[in-house]
Amino acid sequence: MSLNTNIGGIELDNCICNGSGALCKDRDELINLNNSRTGAVITKTSTKDLRVGNPEPRYFDNEMLSINSMGLPNNGLQFYLESAKSITAKPYIVSISGFYIDEEPSLITYIQNKYPHVTGLELNMSCPNLVGKPQIAYDFEQFDNILTKIYEVNDCSIPIGLKLPPYFDMMHFDEATEIINKYPINFLTCINGLGNGMYVDLENESTIIKPKNGFGGIGGPCVKPIGLANTHQFYTKTKCDIFGCGGVSTGSDAFEYILCGASGVQVATQLVKEGTDCFSRINCELKQIMINKNYECLDDFKGKLNYIN
């Protein structure tokens, strides 16, 4: 029974990984991930310099959802590049803000030449919680222009992925696909949080988080149907490998994402709730489902979603 997978040329010994943003900001958190059963260590989305992020309270979760407006708190790209030397047990994927890449597109060549311990890059084109900043991948002209810059000035021999926002309209899937298919992108992460949701504190008759007057990115179980749909759309429309993300808390969730075409899944809200023990549990649950269905490996069912006639 094997859960190993390959995502954009990155070999993982199991398909369950952390999502950028969840318990991956400082050195202790990165080391904890390295020592856990995650298939890879994915860093917090990084910017050029350290960012404190948005004011607190900026995160809330319950059994239905999470809502956050963190504002990309991180220790700066150089910290995450240097930390690669400490991550020896797993592939190490550095997440970088799309806005930073837009300003410094030659960063990729710099990373390739100076930091061989970095296994791959995930370019975050979809953060919904930067005050005054749009989500890059919703502005298709800007999205295309940034990718053009990247591939004009880098040979991109390191695997590169894009973290995408949720799309809802079929025309938007088509527009995004047309852009993505122009470039040798190795993998996609589908999806980032649903931007600009709100949760109300009934007792206090108030918003539950402080930034943006209570608006934040929605994650957790309630977003899984949207994550599954985006995963399946991009699986069928592109040649990219896909990390499914959004509402993964059980082996059943992971199975559904892989059935919809994901080569691996990322866990975020559940990781915050449960800690790194969630990886071993989800691995065991997924293996049991595969045993029950007589599947030996992920390719036995990956992308083989049936449609009702």
CA dihedral 177, 8, 230, 290 (to 10 degrees): 150
Known catalytic membership, residue 127: yes
Residue with tokens 């994550």: 227
Q: Integer distance in angstroms from the first to the last C-alpha of the chain?
A: 32
User: Which residues are CB-neighbours of 305 under 8 A, at least 6 positions away?
Assistant: 232, 259, 260, 261
Q: Which of 15, 24, 127, 240 is catalytic?
A: 127
CB of 217 within 8 A of CB of 192? yes
CB of 122 within 8 A of CB of 163? yes
The Cα 272–Cα 214 span in angstroms is 20
Other CB atoms closer than 10 Å to residue 112's CB: what's the count?
A: 16
Q: Residues with catalytic annotation?
A: 127
